[in-house]
Amino acid sequence: MKIRVARYTTEPQITEAVLEYEVQMQDATLLEVLNEIKTKQDSSLTYASGCRSSVCGSCSMRVNGREVLACAYKVQDGDLVEPMKNSPIIRDLVVDMDKAYSFNAKAKAWQSTLSPSTNLTQDNEKINEIQSDCILCGSCYSACPVYAVNEEFIGPFSLTRVWRYVSDVREEDSSQKIETIQTNGIWDCTLCNECTLVCPQDISSKADIEKLRSKSVMSGFSDPNFASSFGGGFGGSSFDGSPSF
């Protein structure tokens, strides 16, 4: 079986070469194949891995243009393996995710206030149960086409985490989070659903963003692009929540 791996180096500048490797393995995961290549053929091959159980998300990469977890994907003959998109390449299949993760802080994607008098029921837990399964692998971030035009887009996994917390019945005040995601946030999403298709946890960030849009409208916000197309001259709420006439 043969696979091709995109090799990158950043010294003195980013250069790329696609190298082909042949391994005698069947029904193997991509991580197993990469380990075989590194230990027996090319010790310079660089990639990241951790738990080997699809939990830590550190082995995310692309195969034939689609984001996968190397520890879960079963290799096929002729596969092309590449690093994640939308993040700076450190070397080979390893990218720098610092900026991607920084959007969690910008979106205030954490529990801000906690009502001590509110008890969670099983129904309450189910509201955001799947969002809590996010492993921060960055697959949705890599697949998102918005970054081609807006590098400051808060992004799918951070917006999913925002929904995780604003939908928590113990959160006493979600208004600050809702306000934060109005710029470079929910209205910049194209709702293309690429994030959902590649999520290894089957989380639909598209659906979460749609729910955040609904909650924003109920809080007095509206799509600034839609408002500007009418010159702000229609009834309802303007982007900053103030009435427009």
Provide the 8-state DSSP code for 181: T
Specify the higher pLDDT residue, 242 or 27: 27
**Cα 79 from Cα 58, distance rounded (Å):** 20
The residue segments making up the domain with residue 14 are 2-95
| Percent above pLDDT 90 for the chain | 78
Q: In the predicted model, what is the mean pLDDT of residues 93-113?
A: 94
**Residue 163 located in a structural domain:** yes
Examine the domain organization and report whether 146 and 216 are in the same domain: yes
Please indicate, yes or no, whether residues 134 and 189 belong to a single structural domain of this protein.
yes
Among 95, 122, 145, residue at a domain's last position: 95
**Range in 64-68, 145-149, 215-219, 230-234 with the lowest mean pLDDT:** 230-234
> Is the model more confident about 227 or about 215?
215
Q: How many domains does the chain have?
A: 2
Same domain membership, residue 114 and residue 8: no
Q: For residues 111 and 160, state if they share a domain.
A: yes
User: What are the pLDDT digits (tens) for 151-178?
Assistant: 999 999 999 999 999 999 888 888 999 9
Q: In 3D, which of 157, 146, 150, 130 has the Cα closest to residue 60?
A: 157
Chain centre distance of CA 105? 14
What interhelical angle do 98-106 and 156-166 show, nearest 10? 30
| pTM: predicted TM-score of the whole model, two decimal places | 0.86
The answer to whether the Cα torsion of 50, 55, 56, 57 is positive or negative is positive
20 domain residue, yes or no: yes
In a domain, 73, yes or no: yes
**Are residues 42 and 144 both part of a single domain?**
no
Mean pLDDT value across residues 124-131:
89
Task: Say which CATH number the domain at 104 has.
Answer: 1.10.1060.10
pLDDT value, residue 244:
38
The one-letter amino acid code at 178 reads I
